Amino acid sequence: MKTNNVILETATKVILFIILLFSVYMFFAGHYEPGGGFIGGLMASGAIVLLLIAYDLKTVRKILPFDFKKVTALGLLFAAGTAAGGLFFDKPLLTHWFTYVYPPILGKMSLHTAVIFDTGVFLVVVGVTMTIIQTIGESE
Amino acid sequence: MEILMSLLIGVIFMSATYLMLSKSLLRIIVGTGLLSHGVHLLLLTMGGLKRGAAPLLGQQAEAYTDPLPQALILTAIVISFGITALFLVVAYRSYQELGTDNMELMRGKEGNE
Amino acid sequence: MSLLHLAIIAPFILAIFVPSLHKALPKIHTGWFLLPLPIVLFSYFLSFLPQIIRGETTMETLNWIPSLGINFSARVDGLGLLFSLLITGIGALVVLYSIYYLSKEKEKLNQFYVYLLLFMGAMLGVVLSDNMVVLYGFWELTSFSSFLLIGYWNHRERSRYGAQKSMLITVFGGLSMLGGMILLYLMTGTFSISETIAMAATIYGHELFIPALICILLGAFTKSAQFPFHIWLPDAMEAPTPVSAYLHSATMVKAGIYLVARLTPVFALSGLWVWLVAGFGILTLFWGSFSAVKHNDLKGILAYSTISQLGLIMSLLGLGAAAIHYPAVEAGFYTVAVSAAVFHLINHATFKGSLFMMVGIVDHETGTRDIRKLGGLMSIMPITFTIAVIGSFSMAGLPPFNGFLSKEMFFTGMIRAQEIGFFNMETLGLIFPIVAWVASVFTFLYSMIIVFKTFTGKYQPEKLEVKPHEAPLGMLISPIILVSLVVVIGLFPNIVAPLINSVMASILPSLVAEGMKFDVHIYHWHGFTPELFMTIGVIVVGILLYKFMPRWTGIYNRMPEKFSLNSAYDNGLAGIQKGANRFTNAYMTNSIRTYLLYIFTFLILSLGTTLIVKNAFVLDTANVANIHAFELVLVIIIAIGSVSILFVKSRMTSIILLGSVGYAVSLFYAIFRAPDLALTQLVIETVSVALFLLAFYHLPKVNKNEEHMRFKMGNAVISIGVGVVVSLIALSAHSSKAFDSISQYYIENTYKKAGGENMVNVILVDFRGFDTLFEIAVLAIAALGIFSLIKLRLTRGKEQG
């Protein structure tokens, strides 16, 4: 059932990127402002769901040719890898490390291993949501 | 506010329980969704409401609300989403296979040994 | 991460690559990829030898969960080193042997070698861990890998039975051992073995001492197949022969002995320990050797013989532990038992390993292990015959092989049991040498059966499935190396003496502390001692019994099968299954409503009763937040929304109502200073509604016509009950604060320790990162569940159609 919804399609093209950008912002702001991997991930998948509503499964598959199960697995690997990383420095499991750097122009920046962990969360959330929606959608 | 919230939580729990006890699989799923809302509000209320600023150090406030229940709830929201999705698919599949969503009709007798 | 840790983990790392190596290079037998590892590890552990002999130990610690006292600390001392050498040394030989034993065309080699590596790493972990929890983890891993290896030929019913049996018994023991370790922790406050040993005197006399002792011994006895837990070992012989040689004779079954030796300094102050270890050991020794004689399967004989030899070592360790009670000057008289135990441990690994490999060769080349079908193979398989003679004669305790020397030392240790001046040993100690002698007669007997029933007598080619011939050279190398060790140690026993000394130092550290130096010298000739006469007696009586076997073996038939331990196990297992089934069927009605009723009724009763009995309901109206008008509106929206879902019939309406409740809740989060929650809830609600719509598209209308009035009333009562109880709990939880909130910790440390400002996020990714890790794992599992629920059924439907 391919319906031509020009307004929705056009709007989606613009809004999609705004949402995605916002989700990335949310993700990185997470350590200081409201946000983080969960919200970022959910928002990104929300954007993809919007894409799904505006177009259809096949189009989305063409635009994003990932196997979302693998995205989930990759996310878990990120998270578990960060968790285990501490062990190599003779620290307990899940010990994070952070520092501040002062690159020119940008000013103070902080670097966290927690971000890698959160990336894992982000990827898992996107992967899981998309796996669920794609599988249900395709079963029709 | 806390007292009002406690009563509200009671109402949510009551509706959720009633839905979960019904025969229709669909209502059971809606019931679990409602139940998780109730649990989240319960956690939040237990931690105390409006005791200070949002738990962001950037706010530079005197007092902050308890961040721990919020972290627990955040975890719970995402998990309950996963569970609801799983339930939905189970319902959908069983309806496809068995042609009913009535739990009483689904009581298989095989596999009892 | 030290080299030592790497050595323990190396087998696991290699195991990851085995399947791909197997796939990438199918022409090369996968075993060749494995072979270098145990050899490298063996030489690595050999490099520890000089420092161990000097009396130094190495300890490397890797923090794991320091807050619970659980750290991956690896410690190399005499005992650990001896076992590591056995594990890697025999391991290398077994891998070499398996390359010729298992055909690369027919067998699933990738699985086999993954399991074997899993075992090797786990076993190294057991003998090198200084932390009890880590030891326990590796201990169970050995049980699992043993389970997988026994069930390797999983199309055979006996293999599956044997695998399950060994799993049930050893895991039961492992759990009880964990219990014992936790009891020790309660007494000492540490999981470290070396620290526990240092506190031995304070533990003794603690009320938990005896329970801890029994729990630990249960673990050791089940693993080392001591009577009455020995029944799993004969069934474990269903595993491929290299596995039997490796796990079920040389290494894994000795884990129990290792545990007893390791914890001797902790428990040996108690007479109960001495009696239990020595008593069950000697009982196992007798029962194992007595039962071995009646078997016709060569591997069955070897299984019972292993049981009996394990009992022998166990009993020596038990008696030797008594030496701790003597001052260093006198203790030397009793420590003979310990040195005999260690010496026999080495000897047993050599001769039993070679015998298992010999039986494997016979099985491989003739197609049977039944001694009634075998016979006269001496001229056909001369090298195998030589291996069998040396191995068996050593096992029987005949000179000039190493088994003779340790058997003599064993007799010495047993005779000296009577001299131990306490624990009633003066009177009851006489039992030990007598039982030991009788058991040795049977040991002699079954050793002779193995050699002479297989290799001499009438050659019966018509009963064999294949035409026998000598095994290929590659298969013979490993047993030849082992029997040469049997001969070399037999002729020059003192080359292993320094190792024995250092092992004894780790079993009896309190004597070392008193300044005693262990200095074992092993002699071939002691003069005309009671030990010599006992050996001569064993040989004479053994030969007589062998000659007249048909006359007396009838006694084995006198023991009805009904009362055997095996049938007790089988019936017990069946009984438990039947009982569990009946019990489950009594309350499992297959109706989800019944189950929910159980849960909700229990919730109401237990929480309601607690509220009443404990007088826990408090209402604090003073310390509450104020109510704004729009909050009241939200409350009313949620209340109306949730109640009206009960009455709607259309599925669309119920989704919309649920969604509106969700959005209202997210507004509450915003009001209650939880911006993270509000955002998450908003997005989740949107995605869920999309999901509901997708799935509900296929589902029927919400149907509530068929529900009766009584049904409705019952539900209403239960739901109102739940609502009231939860409200009361919410009120009391708000009104009474039993503890201070821990939120202050997070507020103070979010920036200091984690360098963040959003506390909720920092808690999620840092302070409670473990929760989040598992949470995303659960999510991934849910997604996979959904995927398989839909996809797998579709493909099956396609296949059928």
Per-residue model confidence as pLDDT tens digits over A3-57: 667 888 888 888 888 999 988 888 888 778 888 888 899 889 888 888 888 887 7
Please determine, for residue C136, whether its predicted confidence score (pLDDT) is greater than 90.
Answer: yes
For residue C263, the model assigns a pLDDT of: 92
Q: Which of C733, C459, C481, C790 is nearest to C607 (CA)?
A: C733
Question: Which residues in chain B touch residue A135, judged by CB atoms under 8 angstroms apart?
Answer: 89
Mean pLDDT calculated for residue range B65-89: 88
Domain residue ranges in chain C: 277-553, 560-588, 592-738, 740-801
- Span C427-446, pLDDT tens digits: 777 888 889 999 999 999 99
Q: Which of C120-134, C365-379, C545-559 has the highest mean pLDDT?
A: C120-134
Q: Give the span between the Cα atoms of C497 and C305, in whole angstroms.
A: 26
The fraction of chain C above a pLDDT of 90, given in percent, is 31
Nearest to C213 by CA among C267, C153, C294, C250: C267
CA nearest to B3, candidates C732, C694, C573, A55: C732
Interface residue B92 vs chain A (CB under 8 A): yes
| Mutate which: B29, B64, B70, B78, vs A, most A CBs within 10 A | B78
Q: Report d(CA C705, CA C703) in Å as an integer.
A: 6
CA–centroid distance for C768 within its chain: 30
Residue B24, SS3? strand
Higher confidence at residue A49 or residue C310? C310
Q: What is the pLDDT of residue C94?
A: 93
Provide the 8-state DSSP code for C25: -
Give, for A119, the enclosing helix (H) or strand (E): helix A114-138
Q: What angle do CA C77, C81, C82 make, to 5 degrees?
A: 120
Residue C559 has pLDDT above 80, yes or no: no
Which tokens go with C408?
């003599």
Average pLDDT over residues C519-523: 78
Using alpha carbons only, give the angle C766, C769, C770 rounded to the nearest 5 degrees.
Answer: 150
* Whole-angstrom distance, CA of residue C703 vs CA of residue C538: 85
Question: Tokens standing for C276?
Answer: 């239990």
Q: Which two tokens stand for residue C150?
A: 């026994």
B99 interface with C at CB cutoff 8 Å = no
pLDDT per position as a tens digit, C580-618: 988 888 887 777 888 888 999 999 999 889 888 887 777
Residue B111: pLDDT band (50, 70, 90) is very low
Chain C residues with beta carbon closer than 8 angstroms to that of A91 = 63
Compute the nearest-CA separation of B61 from chain C (Å). 11
Name the residue in chain A with its Cα closest to that of C674: A34
Q: Is the pLDDT of residue B95 over 90?
A: no
Whether the CB-CB separation of B96 and C702 falls below 8 Å is answered with no
| Of B9-13, B100-104, C283-287, C511-515, minimum mean pLDDT range | B100-104
Q: Render pLDDT for C443-473 as a digit per residue (tens, 0 to 9).
A: 999 999 888 888 888 887 777 777 788 888 8
In which element (H, E) is residue C559 found? none
Backbone angles phi, psi at C74, to 5 degrees: -105, 135
**Backbone angles phi and psi of C470, in degrees to 5:** -65, 150
Beta strands in C95-164 (DSSP E): none
Determine the Cα–Cα distance for residues C56 and C512; give it in Å rounded to an integer. Answer: 12
Q: C81 and C509 in contact (C-beta within 8 Å)? A: no
CA distances B33 to B83, C478, C596, Å, are 9, 64, 15
- Taking an 8 Å cut-off on Cβ atoms, the answer to whether C719 and B85 are in contact is no
Q: What is the pLDDT of residue C800?
A: 47
Predicted confidence at residue A2, as pLDDT, reads 52
Q: Which one has a higher pLDDT value, B65 or A96?
A: B65
Q: Which residue of C has its CA nearest to A46?
A: C687
Higher pLDDT, B57 or C788: C788
Nearest CA in chain A to B58: A32
3-class SS of residue A7: helix
Tens of pLDDT, residue by residue over C97-109, are 999 888 877 788 8
Q: What is the pLDDT of residue C561?
A: 65
First to last CA, chain C: 56
Helices (H) and strands (E) in chain C, counts: 36, 2
What value does the mean pLDDT take over residues C246-256?
Answer: 89
Residue B113: predicted pLDDT: 36
Residue C258, pLDDT > 90, answer yes
Q: What is the dihedral of CA C598, C604, C607, C610, to 10 degrees?
A: -110
User: Is residue C704 predicted with pLDDT exceeding 60?
Assistant: no
Q: By the 8 A CB rule, do C127 and C87 touch?
A: yes
Q: Give tens-digit pLDDT for C334-369.
A: 888 888 999 999 999 999 999 999 999 988 888 888
Q: Which residues of A touch B54 (CB under 8 A)?
A: 34
In this complex, the chains that touch B, judged by 3 or more CB pairs closer than 8 A, are A, C
Backbone angles phi, psi at C375, to 5 degrees: 150, 150
What is the pLDDT at residue B68?
87
Q: Where are the domains of chain A?
A: 6-138
Tell which residue, C131, C112, C110, C130, has the closest CA to residue C120: C112
Residue whose entry in the numeric block shows the structure tokens 């949402």: A19
Angle at C481 between CA C479 and CA C484, to 5 degrees: 105
- Residue C679 touches chain B, beta carbons under 8 Å: no
The predicted structure's pLDDT at residue C138: 94
Residue C121 pLDDT exceeds 90 = yes
What are C387-408's pLDDT values in tens digits?
999 999 999 888 888 888 888 8
User: Which two structure tokens, joined as six digits, stand for C406?
Assistant: 């340790």
Phi, psi of C422 (to 5 degrees): -150, -175
Q: Minimum mean pLDDT among A123-132, B80-89, C285-294, C758-767: which range?
A: C758-767
User: Which CATH number is C592-738 given?
Assistant: 1.20.120
List, for residues C40-97, the tens digit of each pLDDT value: 999 999 999 898 888 888 888 888 888 888 888 889 988 999 999 999 999 999 999 9
Helix axes C255-267, C298-321, angle to 10 degrees: 10
Q: Of B8, B9, B21, which to mutate for an interface test with C (greatest number of C Cβ within 10 Å)?
A: B21
Q: Is the pLDDT of residue C641 over 50?
A: yes
Q: Is the pLDDT of residue C259 over 90?
A: yes
Task: Report whether C92 contacts C39 (CB < 8 A).
Answer: yes
Q: Residue C484: what pLDDT?
A: 92
User: Is residue C801 very low, low, confident or very high in pLDDT (cuts 50, 70, 90)?
Assistant: very low
Among A5-9, C66-70, C421-425, C719-723, the minimum mean pLDDT is found in C421-425
Structural Rg of chain C based on CA atoms: 33
Please enumerate in sequence order all residues whose Cβ is within 8 A of that of C58, keeping only pairs 6 or more positions apart, or say none: C4, C48, C51, C75, C76
Confidence check: pLDDT of C705 > 60 = no
CA C380, distance to chain mean position in Å, is 42
Listing DSSP states for C509-549 in one string gives HHHHHTT--------S---S-HHHHHHHHHHHHHHHHHHTH
Partners of B56 in the β-ladder: C758
The pLDDT of residue C186 is above 70: yes
Residue numbers of C between 62 and 101 with CB closer than 8 Å to A: 62-67
CA distance A106 to chain C (A): 19
Is residue B37 within 8 A of residue B56, CB to CB? The reply is no
More confident of the two residues C290 and C742: C290
Q: Is residue C626 within 8 Å of B1, Cβ to Cβ?
A: yes
Q: Do C152 and C115 meet the contact criterion of CB atoms below 8 Å apart?
A: yes
Report chain C's mean pLDDT, rounded to a whole number: 86
The percent of residues in chain C predicted with pLDDT above 70, rounded, is 96
The structure tokens listed for C147 are: 């389970």
Question: Is C418 a residue whose pLDDT tops 90?
Answer: no
Distance of CA C760 to the CA centre of its chain: 40
